[in-house]
């Protein structure tokens, strides 16, 4: 797992686009954050500016893509913090950002293909990982699942990448009918996805989805890397507010500092 220095910067907002209802893709310009980040790391952004006193806390978001000094976050407006963020992140404005934070994905070499599994907005860190493996010329398969067809965005972008892409929706309105785990199991049965030991596997999404995928893989004798989301305050290992239990022994790990990426064999989640 990769970790390094982080910076506190004022990052200029380049663009904000509503990619689907209440989900926004934002490009920001950084001094060092983009260039020093690795896939799986995140930023912690102050959601209010000087006009707003509350909420004082920052909010964490995965770095979804990087181009030179520019980087993308994709965020879902789910509460007060992200509602304020949407208002703050207007082109030309500046946001106070801490990053890059946490440990990124453990990048593996070309001896195995890569299988990246995203549920919902888990596609944000998976996008960065996918782009990295494409740039390394490594054969990559992406499974992306959502509840409904309307939850997907930028599908043209993913369909035009040099990857094998599988889509699932819980209600069958697009792609495979079922969740990503059911799709994975189905694709293994019909051999479009071959034996699991051919792949390095990564899964990011809502906790029940990651748990389901991880427990299935562990029961079959495999593992995967997961990127956990817990409520966070400091984001830098000080407040202990993001602890998760270790799987094999007593004790805990901090999602912000020891993660957010973990091997599924190391954490209970
Ligand atoms: C390392 C990390 C990376 C993340 N990356 C992304 C991302 O790329 N895109 C994205 O949309 N979201 C991401 N999140 C989740 C995001 O930080 C929360 O959705 C956001 O902080 C909610 O703020 P709010 O004030 O709008 O919501 P609140 O009003 O605080 O809460 C609204 C709802 O969101 C839930 N929630 C709040 N904080 C979190 C959290 N940290 N994790 C999970 N659920 C939460 C609450 O339980 C509640 O149900 C990430 C979280 C972490 C820890
Ligand atoms: S958020 Fe403070 S220790 Fe992790």
Q: What is the CATH number of the domain that holds 179?
A: 3.40.50.80
Query: What's the whole-model pTM score?
Result: 0.94
Do 189 and 133 share a domain, yes or no? yes
Do 245 and 139 share a domain, yes or no? yes
Peptide bond into 20 cis (omega under 30): no
Query: Minimal CA–CA distance to 103: which of 253, 265, 268?
Result: 253
Do 41 and 89 share a domain, yes or no? yes
Among 60, 65, 66, 226, which residue has the most ligand 1 atoms within 8 Å of its CB, making it the best to mutate? Answer: 60
Closest Cα to atom 6, ligand 1: which residue?
A: 61
Among 56, 101, 231, 242, which residue has the most ligand 2 atoms within 8 Å of its CB, making it the best to mutate? Answer: 242
Length reported for the chain: 269
Q: Distance between CA atoms of 88 and 103, rounded to whole angstroms?
A: 27
- Give pLDDT tens digits for 220-230: 888 899 999 99
Q: Distance between CA atoms of 225 and 91, rounded to whole angstroms?
A: 35
Q: How many Å separate Cα 175 from the centre of its chain?
A: 22
Cα-to-centroid distance, 70 and ligand 2 (Å): 26
Cβ(248)–Cβ(242) below 8 Å: no
Q: Residue 195 has what pLDDT?
A: 77
Give pLDDT < 70 ranges for the chain. 1-4, 49-56, 194
Do 246 and 171 share a domain, yes or no? yes
Please tell me if the CB atom of residue 81 comes closer than 6 angstroms to any atom of ligand 1: yes
Has residue 55 been placed in a domain? Answer: yes
Q: Residue 109 has what pLDDT?
A: 85
Domain that includes residue 158, residue range: 113-266
Has residue 69 been placed in a domain? Answer: yes
- The 3-state DSSP class for residue 81 equals helix
Among 98, 101, 228, 233, which residue has the most ligand 2 atoms within 8 Å of its CB, making it the best to mutate? Answer: 233
Q: Residue 188 has what pLDDT?
A: 84
């Amino acid at each position: 797992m990769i970790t390094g220095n982080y910076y506190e910067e004022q990052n200029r907002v380049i663009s904000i686009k509503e990619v689907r209802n209440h989900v926004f893709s934002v490009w920001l310009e950084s001094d060092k954050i983009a260039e020093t980040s690795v896939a799986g790391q995140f930023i912690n952004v102050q959601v209010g500016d000087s006009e707003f006193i509350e909420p004082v806390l920052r909010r964490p978001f995965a770095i979804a893509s990087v181009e030179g000094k520019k980087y993308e976050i994709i965020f879902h407006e789910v509460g007060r913090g992200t509602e304020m963020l949407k208002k703050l992140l207007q082109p030309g404005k500046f946001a106070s950002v801490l990053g890059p934070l946490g440990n990124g994905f453990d990048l593996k070499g070309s001896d195995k293909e890569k299988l990246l599994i995203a549920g919902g907005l888990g596609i944000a860190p998976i996008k960065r990982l996918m782009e990295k493996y494409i740039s390394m010329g490594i054969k990559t398969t992406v499974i992306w699942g959502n509840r409904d067809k309307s939850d997907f965005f930028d599908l043209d972008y993913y369909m035009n990448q040099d990857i094998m892409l599988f889509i699932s929706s819980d209600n069958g309105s697009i792609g495979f009918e079922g969740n990503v785990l059911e799709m994975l199991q189905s694709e293994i049965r019909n051999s479009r996805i071959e034996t699991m030991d051919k792949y390095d596997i990564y899964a990011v999404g809502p906790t029940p989805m990651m748990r389901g995928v991880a427990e299935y893989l562990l029961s079959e004798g495999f593992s995967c890397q997961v990127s956990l989301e817990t409520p966070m305050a400091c984001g830098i290992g000080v407040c202990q507010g993001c602890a998760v239990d270790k799987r094999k022994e007593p004790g805990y790990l901090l999602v912000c500092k020891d993660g957010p990426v973990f091997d599924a064999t190391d954490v209970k989640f």
